[in-house]
């Protein structure tokens, strides 16, 4: 089978790319509005971009009517956000936060999550996440056309919080995280089946 994205609808493009690029890590992004209202929402078009300087990126598509989602609005206004890593115990709350709440609603209260003050940014981190990255927005790049414009948000990682229970030999122990990944449709996975390979030595 050969697929040409130019021949697909927007929905079909999404269906194909999310099935082909999987699993994808999930950025559980927490922000704060200029009115002091907390927001959190999951984004699976997310990854590490650069290790030094440490830079991450995730994308958010606008609502069907062209309005910006609360996460994007808050980041544009405050230039700050936190990426919280989703683990198995956070799955239900993460899924609940994907509902389209009004911008006046505190999504920490709606999901039962616990906001914790960060050391640098004004946005809170999620206590229930074992790894949280405090970030400053570096750049926002827009793709597509109205009403479904997608904004790719690039952020500098300023500080990382790691629960000591997930640290071994001074490093994050990914084998203990049970991190959740996004597949196509409504499917998810948990990182448990891990194997290692030595990289070939350069001549």
pLDDT score of 53 more than 90? yes
Quick one: pLDDT at residue 61?
95
103 pLDDT tier (thresholds 50, 70, 90):
confident
Q: What is the mean pLDDT of residues 88-106?
A: 93
Residue 176 CB partners (closer than 8 Å, separation 6+): 165, 166, 168
Burial classification of residue 79, based on how many CB atoms lie within 10 Å of its CB (0-12 exposed, 13-18 middle, 19 or more buried): middle
Question: Percent of the chain beyond pLDDT 70?
Answer: 100
- C-alpha 25: how far from chain center: 7
Question: Binning pLDDT at 50, 70 and 90, where does residue 148 land?
Answer: confident
- How far apart CA 136 and CA 81 sit, in angstroms, is 6
Residues 90-114, buried b or exposed e (16+ Cβ, 10 A)?
A: bbebbebbeeebeeeebbbeebebe
| pLDDT 10s digits, 111-133 | 999 999 999 999 999 999 999 99
CATH architecture of 20-190: Roll (2.30)
Are the CB atoms for 160 and 131 separated by under 8 Å? yes
- For the chain, the domains span 20-190
Q: Quick one: DSSP state of residue 178?
A: -
Q: For position 100, what pLDDT does the model report?
A: 87
Q: What is the pLDDT of residue 147?
A: 86
Rounded CA-CA distance 143/152 in Å is 8
Residue 24 has pLDDT above 90, yes or no: yes
Q: How many residues does the chain have?
A: 203
Going by C-alpha positions, the residue among 133, 125, 131 that lies closest to residue 165 is: 131
Distance CA 145, CA 173 (A): 41
């Amino acid at each position: 089978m050969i697929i040409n994205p130019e021949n697909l609808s927007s929905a079909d493009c999404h269906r194909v790319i999310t099935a082909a690029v999987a699993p994808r890590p999930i950025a559980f992004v927490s922000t704060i509005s200029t009115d002091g209202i907390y927001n959190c929402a999951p984004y699976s078009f997310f990854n590490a971009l650069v290790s030094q300087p440490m830079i991450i990126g995730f994308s958010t598509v606008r609502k069907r009517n062209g309005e910006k989602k609360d996460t994007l609005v808050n980041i544009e206004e405050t230039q700050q956000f936190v990426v919280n890593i989703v683990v198995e115990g956070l799955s239900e709350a993460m899924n609940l936060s994907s509902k389209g709440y009004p911008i006046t609603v505190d999504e920490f209260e709606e999901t039962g999550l616990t906001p914790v003050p960060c050391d640098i940014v004004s946005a809170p981190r999620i206590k229930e996440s074992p790894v949280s990255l405090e970030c400053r927005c570096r750049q926002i790049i827009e793709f597509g056309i109205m009403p479904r414009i997608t904004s790719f948000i690039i952020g500098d990682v300023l500080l990382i919080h790691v629960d000591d229970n997930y640290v071994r030999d001074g490093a994050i122990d990914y084998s203990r995280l049970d991190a959740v990944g996004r597949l196509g449709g409504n499917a998810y996975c948990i990182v448990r089946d891990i194997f290692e390979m030595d990289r070939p030595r350069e001549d």
